[in-house]
Amino acid sequence: MSEDTISATAKTHGMDRTRVDADWPPLTLAEARALLDEFLGCGEAVQILSVSPRPFSSASVVATRTGRVFIKRHHGSVRDREGLLEEHRFMNYLREHGAPVPFIFADASGETAIERGEWSYEVHEAPPGVDLYEDALSWTPFRSTTHAHSAGAALARLHLAAQGNDAPRRKARPLVAGFTIFADDHPSAAMDRYLAERPSLADYSNVRARCNEALELLAPFHSELRMQSPALEPLWTHNDLHGSNLLWSAGGDHAQVAAIIDFGLADRTNAVHDLAHAIERSIVEWLELKKTEDVPVHLDQLNSLLSGYQSVRPLTEGEAEALAPMTAVCHAEFALTEADYFLGVLHSEMNARVCVEDYLVGHARWYRRNGGNKLLNAIRGWAGTRKRVGE
């Protein structure tokens, strides 16, 4: 891919279904060559093969003399060295315990996170697999129930591999989907602490009012969730499982998951939180919510996703009972962390307003109405009728 082609294709997913100009400049071949000269086993970069449409960083698959690698460049305000190492330690733990996640290359000194000026870099292997959902947004459904089933099973295997990783929760930084506000007995106080740790949010006058509205809307689900809190064992989790964060064994509707990628939102939460995010990302077509409250909800894919998960790591009774209320609240911290990114890094009040008004409050409001009741009752029904191991 030529430099001119790279610049022309540097479009990213916008806040709706459109492609927009990238916030970050695309990687260049000269930049990739200089970087890979420092990494062991990568070979000389010879061609940029793709430009990722993901908006929060610049990333490309790069052909080298010895194969292909995936290079990702972050602005230091989004991911510094320590922020990347939090992710890399988790990924390495998963690989050591059999999960299909990419290998992370290191330089001659053993560093996997490289800082150069205002940028931070990481280099991953490009694992075997087909990127079937390369252009798909979050909040778009799987192509088939087979894909949904395989995704659920892959997530369960990741959770089994993550057991025993006792690394602490991540530090406060943009674009991390944690579980702290609704994990607390007093979510309003936890919300205050969350905002205080993120000055860009705390200083934005619109945020606190929208947060209070969301807290009120989600209060019944928090009460329901707290009844099952003893069942929610801490676990490092992915927090962004959907079709485009998976590579697939082949093309077509019967493909199976071959690899799990993109651990940028990972944190120490719990398995139910991660499974709820997987539901939230793919089962509800949220991008239709601006047009109608009758958004498509893919209950056939929900059942397949849960069946796949259950086939590998059966939920305990308490976990199953926690899944519906967790699905209603899990989006809150992601909406806020995305608003923090837009305010603190890009200084875009317009996009931050979308996060707090449409995502945080809009989604919370939907869960209190017919569409949300339909989804949550389906999850509750599954929890009440699923077969337990040994029955």
Query: DSSP states of 81-120 as a string?
Result: HHHHHHHHHHHHHHHHTT-----B--BTTS-SSEEETTEE
Q: What is the three-class DSSP state of 141?
A: coil
CA angle 349/352/354 to nearest 5° reads: 115
C-alpha 234/C-alpha 191 separation (Å) is 20
pLDDT digits (tens, 9 = 90+) for 26-49: 999 999 999 999 998 899 999 999
Q: How would you label 196-234 residue by residue, b for 16+ Cβ within 10 Å and e otherwise?
A: eebebbeebeebeebbebbbebbeebbebbbebeebbee
- pLDDT score for 391: 41
pLDDT digits (tens, 9 = 90+) for 326-384: 999 999 999 999 999 999 999 999 999 999 999 999 999 999 999 999 999 999 999 99
Q: Given this chain, do its domains 3-125 and 145-385 carry the same CATH topology? A: no
Decide: 112 and 104 in contact? Cβ < 8 Å. Answer: yes
Other beta carbons within 10 angstroms of residue 164's beta carbon come to 9
pLDDT-wise least confident of 95-109, 126-140, 180-194? 126-140
Q: Any bridge partners for residue 21, and if so which?
A: 11
Residue 388: which residues within 8 A CB-CB, separation 6 or more? 314, 317
C-alpha 238/C-alpha 158 separation (Å) is 8
**What CATH number has the domain spanning 145-385?**
3.90.1200.10
Is the pLDDT at 6 greater than 60? The verdict is: no
The string of DSSP codes covering 292-318 is: -S---B-HHHHHHHHHHHHHHSPPPHH
C-alpha 83/C-alpha 32 separation (Å) is 21
Q: Grade residue 290 by pLDDT with cuts at 50, 70 and 90.
A: confident
C-alpha 238/C-alpha 223 separation (Å) is 25
Delimit the domains of the chain by residue range. Answer: 3-125, 145-385
* CATH class of domain segment(s) 3-125: alpha beta
Is the pLDDT at 93 greater than 90? The verdict is: yes
Of 390 and 95, the structure prediction assigns the larger pLDDT to 95
Decide: 217 and 364 in contact? Cβ < 8 Å. Answer: yes
Average pLDDT value over all residues in the chain = 93
The string of DSSP codes covering 317-329 is: HHHHHHHHHHHHH
Query: Could you tell me the pTM of the whole model?
Result: 0.94
What percent of the chain stands above pLDDT 70?
A: 94
pLDDT digits (tens, 9 = 90+) for 312-324: 999 999 999 999 9
Q: For residue 207, give Cα distances in angstroms to 128, 275, 336, 354, 386.
A: 43, 27, 9, 11, 40
Backbone phi and psi for residue 379, each to the nearest 5 degrees, phi listed first: -70, -40
DSSP 8-state symbol, 172: S
